[in-house]
Structure formats: structure tokens, C-alpha cells
Structure 1
Amino acid sequence: METKPYLSLVVPIFNEEQNLPLLYEKLRALTQYEWEAIMVNDGSRDGSLGVLRGLAHGDRRVKIIDLRKNYGQTAAMAAGFDHAHGEIVIPIDADLQNDPADIPLLLAKLNDGFDVVSGWRKGRWQDRKMTRRLPSAAANWLISKTTGVVLHDYGCTLKAYRQEILKDVKLYGEMHRFIPAFAAWQGARVAEVVVGDHPRKFGKTNYNFSRTLRVMLDLITVKFIIGYATKPMHFFGRIAFASFIMSGISFLLAFYFKFVLHASFISTPLPLLTALFLILGVEFLLMGLVAEMQTRNYFETSGKRIYNIKETMNL
């Protein structure tokens, strides 16, 4: 019977054939901890899976999850989280931009009484152009303000989570970067520590502008979930109430035109606005009721996984 590891290192992989042996050597240097490395092959088209099989044959601490296609980083992380056995779960990039040598820094902060510790690549943008630094700073500021969890570097994959924190976190879209916000919503204590950032040695980055757009759209979803997931009627009800007020104001103005000024209001937009806001109010009220029923159904039924596994090894 295998000993339960202290650390579960979750590594999403997409076309990282040349980086994997180097990453494994760095993981082997973590001799002070019992660990497992859950390598999630996210539909790689190069020889990544072959390299992983070779590593797994030689070391049972290396565990493979081979997904049927490229689902994206969030789904790959979700697969790794679902199969992690360690007390502490640490996602880390396969491209060596995150250094496993920084893991003790995260663990030391966890031992100070925190549940989530996020890496902060403090010097990442010092030598980059302003056109790249400003969007990153703006995005982190916006996410911090929207979620209420202030972090300097939401995009850093290197984080440490206590296992129990991840049990109730459901991931989809590009939601993996918002886990600290979801965890804080559930009462977790969140902190961050400065970690290193290293240039990619092999391969090319999988980041592009479309991912930035998806992140911004997911941020809207996160804001709604954190604020109204268990009470959607509070959200839709406010909009419905505002619509009813606008409808009432339009009606009173029409009444004023007709009976005080003795002027025709037919040529004004007031009748249309009265009817429009009334209809909108009813629609948002009904949407709130439907959302309430869907929320109840969500909490009473098990959710479908966002990934499909082709094969595993050493799990």
C-alpha cells in the first residue's frame, strides 16, 4: 500500500516534450517532502505522452492522466485536482517558468495559518514593454476589485491549496485563475508570496489575446457567482425593481402631461417607455425565479465533468 503523499503537484501539459525531463529533475530535488506529480496530458501533439510514460515507468510518484483532446488549462487542472491525494495541492506550469524550488516558500506561508497561497512573479514585467505591463497590471487590478480578493498576480499558476479547499470548487471556462476568489468566498484565508519567474527554454507560449477575452468574460461570471450564486433573485429582482420604478416614472410623466399640462403625450415616447419598462420588469422577475430553480437543481444534483479521460497510469 502506497503512503499518502504530503504534496500533490498538478501539471497541465500541452506540447512540452523537451521541458518534461528538466521539470522532473527539479521535482526530484524536493527530497524533504513526500510528493506525487499528476501529469495531465491535455491533447499534446508532440511526444509529451511518450516522455511521460517513460518517467512514470521509472517512478511511481509520476502519475499520468491522458485526456482525449485538448480541453484547455482549466479542464486539465480540474482533472488533476480530482485525482490528487496529497494534503496540499500545488498546480505548476510544465514550461519551467515556475520553479519547483519556490514551493517551500508557499508551504511556509501556509503554515502561518493560510488556506491558499498564490505566487507573485514580482519582477516578471520589469524588462517588458509598457504595452504588455499595463494590460497585466490593469487586469489584476480589475480582478482584485471585482472579486474582493486582492492579489498582484492572478495569472501565476504556482499556488498552494489545502486539499479540503478544492473539494467544493467547480471549474469551467478559464476559471482556474479565480480559485483564490472562490476559496475566499467559502471562508478560506488567502495570501501571496513572491516567487521567481524564468523564461521558457523550449517550445512556445500557448497564451494569446483570445484567452484574455475569455478571462474577462469569465470575470463577469465569477462576480455573479460570488455575489448571487445562492440568491440569484437578489440580482434579477433588483433589475426588475428598477424597471418597475422607471415604468412608474414614465406613467406619472404621461399622467402629468395629460391632466396637468393638458397636452397630448401620444407624440412622446412615454407610453412606449411605460410599457417597455413594465415588460422588462416582469421578464427579469421571471428570470430570477427560473435562476432560483436552476440553482436549487444544481445543488441537489451532481455536475458533469468538463473533461474526458482516455487513459491513466500509476493512479
Structure 2
Amino acid sequence: MQADVTTDTPTSDTPVSESLSIVIPMYNEEDNVVPLLARVHEGLAGYAGPWELILVDDGSTDATVARLQDEARRYGSHVRVVTLQRNFGQTAAMQAGIDHARGTVVAMLDGDLQNDPVDIPRMVARLVAEDLDMVAGWRKNRQDNLWLRKVPSRIANRLIARITGVHLHDYGCSLKVFRGDVIRDVRLYGEMHRFIPAWVASLTSPARIKEMVVNHHARKFGESKYGLSRVYRVLLDLLSVYFFMRFRARPGHFFGRIGLVFGAIGGVALTWLLGVKLFLGEDIGTRPLLLVGILFVVMAVQFLTTGVLSELLTRTYFESGTTRSYTVRPPRGEQPEPGWKQPAGRAARA
């Protein structure tokens, strides 16, 4: 899947009035809470539609929760705090925020002040003006350590793009904007937040995914939660992404291909040995190739039967009525629920 990715800024002067939910996962970011909320409100001051801010505390062990609650009381009911029981990880925190979001558009960003909320209205305008399903941020001028963050990230971006077929410059940028009805159909777990564009592309056309250059700032407070130790988890999750994107509804094809390859190799080996035995009269009982051929045939049978069982499980899953093998694009223009931050002057006009 080749994503149609551009970096142009929308030129439409029509104000965007879509209801917007901003989701920010937080973990041990006590020093960033106050400036973060101030920056969000500054960046959204001119937004023409109703919006809410959902702050998800991912089991922080410092004063993050207390400061979030204090700021929520200070700013009003449009600021909502979701507190997880323990540290479940960034992906789970993002999913919790999405589950609580009510907007027709959902924006996500990190709570470390490296993403700039001022970019959100531009990205929402791009999403609406071009009728997209996702706009991803591209940290073109990234303010991070070259060898610890930039180089591993570039390698990961190229590997992910090559395997998933969704070509973005920056998979790791947390600043993204989605159609709410699309992102709610994506279930995140493990370390899947890096692969959100790929998951979205499995539900919609890659042509509806674009990216924009966004601001990026150096971290001022706290410590980075990322490191090289995450590499092996990313690789394992990448394998899962590859499987589900291409074989989610037909897993038998995945296991069947492997089984047929092993079966062909084992069959050729055993056929050749049979010819040696019948036409040359040689003893084949002590040849290592005999054991290899039998092993490959047994493995082929195992993979083929696993494919059949996986097909049965898939059919049961889709026929249970809890999900579908397709998604329908809903009509636009849903009305927001009460409890939103209304744009300045709306109350007076009402």
C-alpha cells in the first residue's frame, strides 16, 4: 500500500467547526503538566469548533495525577483526567484516551512538550478540507540526540514503510489527527502506537493518509521514556502488523504458503532418495537427507493443519457478529455532546 503523502498546508479560509478531542498520555511528567495545558489552550484559542482535552495518566509515581486534577479544576469541564490503575504503557494509555474521546476528530500528542499543540488546528483543517482519514506529523527538524534517537528512528521508519507499504517520513511522531469513526475501529495494544498509520491503512485507503511538517522542541523537563531496549519489541510487533494487515481475514494463506514450501522441499528430497533406492540400488537408510526430507514433510503437515484451524477460528470470529471484515464510511456532520470548550464569543452570540 502506497500512501499518498504530501506536506502542503491547506489554503482554505473556511473555519473548521468539527468537534475535536485531544488525547495526551502522561507518565511521570509532573513538571510538564502546567506548561502543557497552557500551551494547549493557547494553541486552540482560535479553533472555531468545540473541543475537549483528555489527559490519561499511565500509572505515574510522581505528582503528575495531582497536578492534572488541579489544572482540570482550574480550566473547566472540557479538561478530563483518566487515571489508569498502573503503568500499562503508552499504547494502552492512547487506547484509553480514544475510548473516552467523543469528538468527530481525534488528535493525539505526547505530554513531554516536544510536540506543539499550535499545529493541531492546521492538521485538522487539512483533514477536513481534503476529506482525509488521518494526518500524521513529520518532525522534519527533530530536536533529539542523533545516535540515540534520530538514527534508530530513521532505520525503523524505513523498515516499517517497506514492510507495511505505508510510506511516511516519521512513524514515531505522536502528533497525529484522525477521523474519530476511523480511529475508534482500531484497537491498540503492545507497542502498536508506532504502527497506527499501518492499522489505519488496513481500514481505509492509503490515499486518505497524509502527513504535514510540524514543530518539534527539545525536552525541557523529565526524562525520555524511549531507548534502544524497545527495538526487539518493535520488531516483534512489526511481524504482527505484517500478519494482520495481509492475512487477518485469511490466515490459512499465510500458514499454507509456508506449509507448501516445506512440503515441496521434503517431497523433492524423498522423491530423489526413492529414485536412488529403486534405480541405483543404494542404501538410503543412513543418509541425513532422509531425516531432513521426513522432517520437512511433517512440518508441512503441521503448517497446513494450523492454517485450516486458523481459518475455522477466523470464520467463527467474523460470524459471531462482534466484528465485520469490512468498514462502512459514515456520513459527516455529527453533533457534539455537552461539556465542550466552546470557542470564544459563541455563548454571547447564543
Q: TM-score, normalised by structure 1?
A: 0.90
Shift, 1:128, TM fit = 4.1
Which letter does structure 2 place at the counterpart of 1:134?
V
- CA–CA distance in structure 2, aligned partners of residues 201 and 247 of structure 1: 60
Alignment-derived partner of residue 53 in structure 1: 69
- Residue matched to 1:115: 133
- Paired residues of 2:148 and 2:227 also in contact (CA < 8 A): no
Confirm or deny: 8 A CA contact 1:5 1:85 kept in the other structure: no
Partner of 1:170: 187
Matches within 5 A, 1:177-188: 177-188=194-205
Q: Which moved more, 1:30-39 or 1:85-94?
A: 30-39
Deviation at 1:301, TM superposition (A): 6.8
Residues 57-103 of structure 1: CA distance to partner in whole angstroms, max 9, x if unpaired?
22111101110000000000000001101111011111110000111
Q: Distance in 1 between matches of 2:146 and 2:73?
A: 44
Q: Which residue of 2 aligns with 1:311?
A: none
SS of aligned partner of 1:15 = coil
Shift of 1:240: 1.1
Quick one: distance in 1 between partners of 2:249 and 2:83? 35
User: Which residues of 2 match residues 1-315 of structure 1 at below 5 A?
Assistant: 6-29=19-42, 30-33=44-47, 34-58=50-74, 59-110=76-127, 111-124=129-142, 128-130=145-147, 132-188=149-205, 189-299=208-318, 300=320
Letter in 2 for 1:56: A
Q: Compare 205-214 and 146-155 and name the one that shifted more.
A: 205-214
Gaps of 5+ in 1: 304-313
CA–CA distance in 2 between the matches of 1:166 and 1:182?
Answer: 9
Q: Is the 8 A contact 2:148 2:228 kept in 1?
A: no
Rounded to whole Å, the distance in 2 between the matches of 1:112 and 1:162 is 12
8 Å CA contact retained: 1:5, 1:36: no
Q: CA deviation at 1:130?
A: 4.8
Deviations 1:184-214 (A, max 9, x none): 1212411000111101111111112222221
Backbone CA RMSD of aligned residues? 2.0
Answer yes or no: is the 8 Å Cα contact 2:105–2:179 preserved in 1. Answer: yes
Aligned length: 301
* CA distance in 2 between partners of 1:131 and 1:27 (Å): 28
**1:298 to 1:79, Cα distance in 2 relative to 1, 3 A:** farther
**Separation (CA, whole Å) in 2 of partners of 1:88 and 1:250:** 58
CA distance in 1, matches of 2:238, 2:252: 20
Structure 1 residue 135: Cα displacement: 2.1
SS in 1 for 2:60: coil
Contact 2:29 2:64 (C-alpha < 8 Å) held by counterparts: yes
Q: Deviations over 1:235-291 (max 9, x none)?
A: 001111112211210111101211233222223123212221111111111211222
Question: For structure 1, which segment, 54-63 or 228-237, has the greater mean C-alpha deviation from structure 2 after superposition?
Answer: 54-63
Percent same amino acid at aligned positions? 44
> Does structure 2 conserve the Cα–Cα contact (< 8 Å) formed by 1:243 and 1:278?
yes
In 1: Cα distance, 2:60 partner to 2:317 partner: 33
Q: Distance in 2 between matches of 1:298 and 1:202?
A: 46
1:156–1:132 Cα change, 3 Å: closer
Q: Secondary structure in 2 aligned to 1:18?
A: helix
Provide the C-alpha distance between the structure 2 equivalents of 1:99 and 1:212, rounded to a whole number of angstroms: 26
The one-letter amino acid of 2:289's match is L
- The verdict on how the C-alpha distance between 1:134 and 1:16 changes in structure 2, with shifts beyond 3 A counting, is closer
CA contact (8 A) 2:202 2:245 kept: yes
Query: CA offsets per residue over residues 80-127 of structure 1, 9 Å max, x none?
Result: 0011011110111111100001112312321222210100001116x7
Q: Which runs of 4+ in 1 moved over 4 A?
A: none
Q: Is the 8 A contact 1:105 1:193 kept in 2?
A: no
